[in-house]
Amino acid sequence: MNPKGTEFQKQVWNILLTIPFGKTLPYLEVAQIYGNIKAVRAVAAAIGKNPILVAVLCHRVIGSDGSLVGFASGLDKKKWLLEKEGFPFQTEIPF
């Protein structure tokens, strides 16, 4: 795999590859792993530019409060994917 993107985007996407099945990380923690918590918005933007959702699994990144935010295919699909990995949700997604 060699997705097209900037070096920054590729670094962020590589972090996504380390999130194990059934686990989630908040965007802020992804930014922390990247090495710059002030870059959290840039990290979120890079995640949003992920060209291969089925290989670089960005559905595992959630809001700091545990909320489902930002998924190119829709939050309903993000919720479905996480539920299939065993992640429990106790609230419905507001639309």
| Per-residue model confidence (pLDDT) at position 90 | 56
Fold of 7-84: Arc Repressor Mutant, subunit A (1.10.10)
User: In which residue are the tokens 């060699």 written?
Assistant: 2
Identify the pLDDT of residue 6: 95
pLDDT in tens, the chain (95 residues): 777 899 999 999 999 999 999 899 999 999 999 999 999 999 999 999 998 887 899 999 999 998 899 888 899 999 999 999 988 765 555 44
Question: Taking a C-beta distance cutoff of 8 angstroms, is the pair 82, 60 a contact?
Answer: yes
Q: Hey, which residues are catalytic here?
A: 58
Q: What is the pLDDT of residue 66?
A: 87
Taking the domains of the chain in order of start, what are their residue ranges?
A: 7-84
Check if the beta carbon of residue 47 is closer than 8 Å to that of residue 8: no
pLDDT score, position 10: 95
